Amino acid sequence: MNIKKIWEFLIGSFRLTLKGNWAYHSWMAFLAVLMVSGGFAYWRQFTEGLIVTNMRDQVSWAFYIGNFTFLVGVAAAAVLLVIPAYVYNWKPIREIAIFGELLAISAIVMCLLFVTVDIGQPSRALELLPFIGSLNVPSSLLGWDVLVLNGYLVLNAMIVGHFLYKAYFKKPYNKNFVVPLLLFSIPAAISIHTVTAFVYNGMAARPFWNASILAPRFIASALCSGPAIMLILFQILRKTTHIRIRKEAISKIAELMAYAMFLNLFLFGVEIFKEYYSNTSHLVHTKYLYTGLHGHTALVPFAWISLIFSVVAFMLFLVPKTRMNMVTLNLGCILIYAGVYIEKGLALVIPGMTPDTLGEIYEYIPTWIEIRVGAGIFAIGFMVFTLLCKVAIPLLHDTLADPVAPGA
Amino acid sequence: MKTTDDRPKIDRRSFLAGGTAAMGAIAAGVTGASAGFIEDLLHKNFKEISPDRMQRIVREMEQEYTEKYGKNVTVSTKGAQQGVLFGYGLDLSRCIGCRRCVYGCVNENNQSRDPQIHWIRVLEMDKSKGINLEESNPYYNPETVPEEDSFYMPVACQQCRNAPCIKVCPVEATWQEADGIVVVDYDHCIGCRCCMSACPYGARHFNWAEPELAAESVNPDMHYLGNRPRPNGVVEKCTFCIQRVRNGKYPACVEICPVGARKFGNLLDEADEMRVLMRKKRVFVLKEDLNTQPKFYYFYAT
Ligand code: SF4
Ligand code: SF4
C-alpha cells in the first residue's frame, strides 16, 4: 500500500460514483434537496439556539437523541450477517455480508451527526476527543459511547476499505488482516448497544430508564430493525443492480429476525408486568406512554401502533409460509422498521422525561426544524450508503455475482 | 486545537496576544507568555488553568462586561475556605409560597429574563396529600398566598454530596468544590444535557437561546463559577450564591425570604446555626432513596 495507489483507488472510486442511470441521479438529487433543507434548518438552530426545537428543561432530550438511539441499533445489526458469514462460514450470507458493514458505516455517521446537532455548543465538540479534549472516562457513559462509536466506525471503515482496495487492484483480500477485524466487530457491535443503553440505564433519576432490562431490550430490538432495513435494501439492490442475493440468505436472515422479535416482545412483556403489577409511583411514565396522563396523550397512538406493528410482524416472520413469501416478508420488514423506530425514537426518550423529575408534564412534539434537521441527517446517511454501494458493487462484482469469494 | 468558545472577543484577543507574545518569546527568551499561548491551544477547564493565565482571562472578562453593561463589573475566582462545608435548611411550615426567593435569585444571579430561567421552583402541594411531587403544581397563581389547603415546597439544586450530575458529564465541565458547592464551567460545558437527565431534582437549566439580561438589571458582583453571564447553549444551576457565601454573606434567597423559612451555614461547625437546627429539629432530604445525599435539608419548625 503506498500513497500513490491509495490516491488512484480514491480517484477511481470517485469516478464510479459519477456514473449512473436516471434513477440513480434523481435519487441523489432528492437526497441533496433534503440535505439542503436540513442544512438551512440547522443554520437557524445554530444561530438562534436550541429554542427552535420543542425541547425544554422538562424534556431536555428528545427527537435527536431518540434517532441517535435508534440508529445505534441499526449500526450494530451488521453482526447478524457477520456471525453466520464468518463464524459459521455460511457462504450465501458471506457473499453479501459487506452490505452489513456499509450500512453500519452509514448508520454511525448518522449517529454522530445526531449527537452533534443535539449539543448546545457544537464548536466545543472536540472536547469529546480522547487525549486532545477532556473526555471524562471512565466516569461518563456518554464519554464511553463516543469512544466505542468512533471505534466501531473506524473498525468498519478498515474492513470495508480493505475489501474494496484489494478488489480495486484485483488482488485477493488478506484473510489474516480482515478476519480478526470482522470477528472483533461482533463484540464491538454488542458494546455500542450496551454502552448506549447504559447512558440511559445509569440514570437513577429516571425510573423509566433505570431498569436492567434496557440493554438486553436494546440488543433484541436492534437485531430486528437492522436486518429489516437490510432485507429491504437487498430487494432494492436486487432490482436495481446485477448482484445476486440468494433466497436462502434472505430467508435465513428472516428466520433469525423471528427469534429476535420473540425475544424483544418477551422482554417487553416482562417489563410491562413488573410496572403494572408492582404499580409504584414509577408507573406514571409507562402510563403516559400507553394511556396518557391527565389528558396528555401525544404519544399514545404511536405507542400502540408500534406494539401492533411489532406483533403483526412477529406473526409474519414466525410462519414459514409468510416468511418465504416476498410480499409478506417485505410487509413484515416495513412493520418492524416502523415499530422499532417508534419504540426507540419516541417511546424511550420522551416518556423517560415525562413527567419530569418534579412531576411536571410538558408534552413534547418535535418542531418542523427538528424534523427537517433529522431528515437532512437521514439523507446524508442514505447518500453515504448509496455512494458506498455504488463503489462496492462493481468492484466486488466477482464476489457478488459468483459464489466463490476471492481468496476464499 | 481549541480556541473558539463563547467569549469570542476574549479568546481571540488572548489568542492574538499569546501568539504575538510567543513570537516575542522566541526572540527575547521570555517564557511566561508563551506558556499562555500553549494553554490557549489546549483548552483547559477552570481547575486546570494556571494562576497567571486565570488572572489574564478574568481581567479581560471584567473589561468586556464593564463595557457591555456600563457598570464596574468584578469577576471573582475566590476559592473554597478550609473547614467549610455549606448546608441549607428550609422550613416547610413557614414557607408561604410568595416566590420572592425565585426573583431574588434571578436578580442576584443574572439569570436570563427571556427566555426565563429560574433556579428555584416553588411547588404548591395539597395539604391532604402531603409531599407528592406527581400532584404538585409549580404554576399556581392565586390572588394571595398562602392558600388555606396548600403548602409550598421550594426546590433548587440540593448540592448533593453524591451528585449524579457530575459523573455523567462527558467533558468534566461540572464538579463539586471543596466547600461542597456543585459548579459548572460555562466555558467548558458542551451543552449535551446529560447532567439534566441525571439530576433527580430538576435543578439544572439550559440556555435554550441567547440569554437576555438588560444592562440596568445586571448584578456586577460576579464569580467565575457563579453568576457571570452565561452564553447560549450551556447548562446553569444554583451555586448557593457562591459570589456571596464565599465572602461571608448569606445567599440572596435566605436574605429575601419574608418569613425566615430559609437557613444557611457551615455544616462542619458545631456552633453554626445549621448544626443547631439539625440538633433541635428533625430534618429530611428529598428522594433519599437515590442516595444523592443532599446538603439541602427540609424541616418543619412548628
Ligand atoms: S440537585 Fe441536581 S444539579 Fe444539584 S448536585 Fe444534585 S444532581 Fe447535581
Ligand atoms: S451539559 Fe455541560 S455540564 Fe452538563 S453534562 Fe453536558 S457538558 Fe457536562
Q: Are A246 and A306 contacting, i.e. CB atoms less than 8 angstroms apart?
A: no
Residue B17 has pLDDT above 60, yes or no: no
Q: Shortest CA distance to A158 belongs to which of A87, A105, A113?
A: A105
Residues in B 264-283 with any Cβ partner in A closer than 8 A: none
* Cα distances (angstroms) measured from residue A299 to each of A312, B167, B285: 20, 31, 33
Task: Tell me whether residue A135 is in a domain.
Answer: yes
**CB A22, CB B167: distance < 8 Å:** no
Residue of the CA atom closest to atom 6 of ligand 2: B192
Using pLDDT thresholds of 50, 70 and 90, give the confidence band for residue A347.
very high
CA of A315 to the centre of ligand 2 (A): 44
Confidence of residue A79 (pLDDT cuts 50, 70, 90): confident
pLDDT higher at A92 or B186:
B186
Q: Which pLDDT score is estimated for A42?
A: 97
A354-371 mean pLDDT: 96
What range defines the domain where residue A178 resides?
41-400
* Atom number, ligand 1, closest to the C-alpha of residue B237: 3
Task: Indicate whether B7 pLDDT > 70.
Answer: no
- List the helix and strand counts (H, then E) for chain A: 17, 0
Alpha carbons within 13 angstroms on the beta-carbon side of residue A100 total 30
Mean pLDDT for all residues in chain A? 91
Name the pLDDT band for A312 (thresholds 50, 70, 90): very high
Top mutation candidate among B157, B205, B287, B290 for ligand 1, by most atoms within 8 Å of CB = B157
- Check which CATH number belongs to the domain holding A189 and give it: 1.20.1630.10
Q: Spell out which residues of chain B touch residue A120, defining contact as CB-CB under 8 Å.
A: 189-193, 206-207, 232-235
Q: What's the pLDDT at B28? A: 39
Question: Does residue B144 register a pLDDT over 80?
Answer: yes
A98-107, A395-404, B67-76: least confidently modelled range: A395-404
User: Are the beta carbons of B237 and B204 closer than 8 angstroms?
Assistant: yes
Residue A34 lies in a domain: no
Residue B23 touches chain A, beta carbons under 8 Å: no
Smallest CA–CA distance, residue A114 to chain B, in Å, is 12
pLDDT class of B190 with cuts at 50, 70, 90: very high
List the end-to-end C-alpha distance of chain A, in Å, as a whole number.
21
CATH 3.30.70.20 holds for B49-302:
yes
Would you say A185 and A79 are in contact if contact means Cβ atoms under 8 Å apart? yes
CB atoms A135 and B170 under 8 Å:
yes
Q: Which of A247, A250, A243 is nearest to A392 (CA)?
A: A243
Task: Kindly report which listed range (A15-29, A32-46, A267-281) carries the lowest average pLDDT score.
Answer: A15-29
Domain map of chain B by residue range? 1-43, 49-302
Nearest by CB to residue B198, choosing from A135, A136, A203, is A203
Cβ contacts of B76 within 8 Å, gap of 6 or more: B221, B222, B223, B224, B243, B246
User: Please, which pLDDT band fits residue A248 given cuts at 50, 70 and 90?
Assistant: confident
- The pLDDT score that the predictor gives to residue A21 is 87
Q: For cell 486532545, what's the residue?
A: A132
Task: Check CB contact of A279 with chain B, cutoff 8 Å.
Answer: no
User: Whose C-alpha lies nearest to ligand 2, atom 8?
Assistant: B169
Q: Say yes or no for a CB contact (<8 Å) between A136 and B192.
A: no
Q: Is the pLDDT of residue B22 over 90?
A: no
Give the pLDDT band (50/70/90) at residue B14. Answer: very low
Mean pLDDT of all residues in chain B? 88
Length of chain B: 302
* pLDDT for A406: 40
The B residues from 136 to 195 touching A (CB cutoff 8 Å) are 136, 138, 155, 164, 167-172, 188-194
Whether A6 maps to a domain, the answer reads no
CB A117 within 8 A of CB A42: yes
Least confident of A129-138, A290-299, B193-202: A129-138
User: Torsion angle of alpha carbons B62, B68, B73, B75, nearest 10°?
Assistant: -40
Confidence band for A245, pLDDT divided at 50, 70 and 90: confident
Q: How remote is the CA of residue B237 from the centroid of ligand 1, in Å?
A: 8
Residue with the bigger pLDDT between A350 and B22: it is A350
Which pLDDT score, from 0 to 100, does residue A401 have? Answer: 55
C-alpha to C-alpha distance for A135 and B154, rounded to whole angstroms = 35
The tally of domains found in chain A comes to 1
CA B194 to ligand 2: nearest atom? 5
> Mean pLDDT over residues B260-268, rounded?
97
Q: Which 3 state secondary structure label does DSSP give A67?
A: helix
Atom of ligand 1 nearest to the CA of B204: 3
Pocket test residue of B183, B194, B204 for ligand 1, highest count of atoms within 8 A of CB:
B204
> Nearest-CA neighbor of A256 among A291, A281, A285, A227?
A227
**What residues does B87 pair with on adjacent strands?**
B265
Q: CB within 6 Å of ligand 2 — which residues?
A: B 168-169, 171, 173-174, 184, 189-195, 235
pLDDT band, very low/low/confident/very high, at A151 (cuts 50, 70, 90) = very high
* Residue A324 belongs to some domain of the structure: yes
Q: How would residue B43 be classed by pLDDT, with cut points 50, 70 and 90?
A: low
Is residue A281, in this structure, part of any structural domain at all?
Answer: yes
Q: How far is the CA of B121 from the centre of ligand 1 (A)?
A: 14
Extract the C-alpha cell encoding B226. Answer: 457563579
* Contacts with B, A 106-125, CB within 8 Å: 115, 118-125
From the centroid of its chain, how far is CA B225? 7
In which residue are the cell numbers 390572588 written? B143
pLDDT at B126: 96
Instruction: Identify the band that residue B6 occupies on the pLDDT scale cut at 50, 70 and 90.
Output: very low
Average pLDDT over every residue of B171-180: 95
Name which of A91-105, A300-314, A379-393, B53-67 the model is least confident about.
A91-105
CA distance A20 to A387: 11
Q: Does B206 touch chain A (CB under 8 A)?
A: yes
Q: What is the per-residue pLDDT for A386?
A: 94
Burial of A278 from C-beta contacts in 10 A (0-12 / 13-18 / 19+): exposed
B19 vs A: CB within 8 A: no
Which set of grid coordinates corresponds to residue B120? 428555584
Inter-chain CB proximity B171 and A135 less than 8 Å: yes
> Is B129 at the interface with chain A, CB within 8 A?
no
